[in-house]
Amino acid sequence: EETTKQRGEKAEHHAQMVAEVVSAVKAIKYGGWEEQFESRILTSKEEELVLTRRCGRLLASLNVCANPTVDLISFVVVSLHVLAMGVPLTPSTLAAYWVLLALLHGKIFEFPENVRSYAEASEAIDRFQAFLNRVEVGGHGNESEMKR
């Protein structure tokens, strides 16, 4: 969670930097500062990518650790059903457990992708909200002038 938060902050910083460059591109070109800003933007993006890769490694290790856990939990449930409750294990019961186990595995395999998608969507919404909340500086005049 902390890594995802850091990654979001780096992505936000990078997006703000790109927005600044786009809004001031004439001044940057006039001053000959292209290389300086290019270096800053590339460094910012690399920092974001480092955290993105770290998030990927953490989610991959979570996925590897979680799959054996699902198998163990399933085994315990079946064992309790058979041994503690004294219910015989029939082919239909075994098939039902097998299907449920397959569903659990499917959800666990999708979990890292769902977490990543949620984090990206949340970051995008936060950036969009920050953009909408920005106060316009040095606008193009008042509204009556813009209508003319």
Q: How confident is the model at residue 13 (pLDDT cuts 50, 70, 90)?
A: confident
Distance in Å from the first CA to the final CA of the chain: 51
DSSP conformation class of 135: P
Residue 72 has pLDDT above 80, yes or no: no
Provide the pLDDT for residue 145: 47
A 10 A CB-CB count for 148 gives 5
pLDDT of the residue at 32: 83
pLDDT at residue 113 greater than cutoff 80: no
The dihedral sign for the CA sequence 72, 73, 77, 83: positive
